Amino acid sequence: MVSAVLTGCTFPSAGADPGPTAPTSSASPGTGNAIAAALRQVRVLGERPEVRGYRRDQFGRAWSDDHSGLGGHNGCDTRNDVLAAQLQAPEYRGKSRCVVIAGTLLTDPYTGKRLEFRKAKASEIQIDHIYPLSRAWDMGASRWPQQRRVDFANDEAMNLIAVDGPANASKGDSGPGEWLPINRNYRCTYALRYLQVAHKWSLPITTADRNSVQAITRLCP
């Protein structure tokens, strides 16, 4: 794997940073070129508009199985689908083929830590929308039909990842212009996936997002 050493750089709005010493990027070779290409495919707004009326249920019941994407209509809710796919050695409740009660997140994308999932403390590992729902609402999803919003909220293939709960809370509904993972190894991948989701769903990004992503691109393999 080709790697790039991230040195001598300041990342915008990255939250708590582990310090000036930057680790080697684990992004795949060609990620930098892929980010640059993805940037050319998305529309850029000066800033995020404020659109009234957002509620979580406008994107359907949380983790609905009633969607047209990966895992849709398979009898399991989206949260458990993601846990089953992204945890190592998932364990299930009784004879259930859906309800994940334990497993290991070998490397949390946002912190780089190894995390153990237990159903009794489920909030310690959360499922994050890389492009957040309320952000999508403001950037155009408020005009979508209901089913398109449901499909977006349950986009297992592109927009959903299992991550550290506190890190997810710190991200909130931010984009890369306001927040970046403290795990620098994941920043290139995070930036690329954010742009890919934006392109897939015809959502714009902000100027701050673009500037942050461009800074990251120069450091990706």
Condensed to tens digits (0 to 9), the pLDDT of residues 127-170 reads: 999 999 999 999 999 999 999 999 999 999 999 999 999 999 99
Confidence of residue 8 (pLDDT cuts 50, 70, 90): very low
On the question of pLDDT at 18 being above 50, the answer is no
On the question of pLDDT at 201 being above 80, the answer is yes
**Which pair of structure tokens corresponds to residue 176?**
């890369």
Confidence of residue 29 (pLDDT cuts 50, 70, 90): confident
- 146 in helix, strand or coil? helix
Confidence of residue 27 (pLDDT cuts 50, 70, 90): confident
**Which pair of structure tokens corresponds to residue 123?**
């909030």
The type of residue at 215 is A
3-state class percentages of the chain: helix first, strand second, coil last, to nearest 5: 35, 15, 50
The type of residue at 168 is N
Cα separation, 153 vs 64, in Å, equals 9
Cα separation, 166 vs 72, in Å, equals 28
The phi, psi pair for 192, rounded to 5°, reads: -65, -45
Pick the range with the lowest mean pLDDT from 7-11, 105-109, 185-189.
7-11
On the question of pLDDT at 13 being above 90, the answer is no
pTM strictly above 0.85: yes
Average pLDDT, the chain: 90
10 Å CB burial of residue 124 (0-12, 13-18, 19+) is middle
Q: What are the boundaries of each domain within the chain? A: 31-217
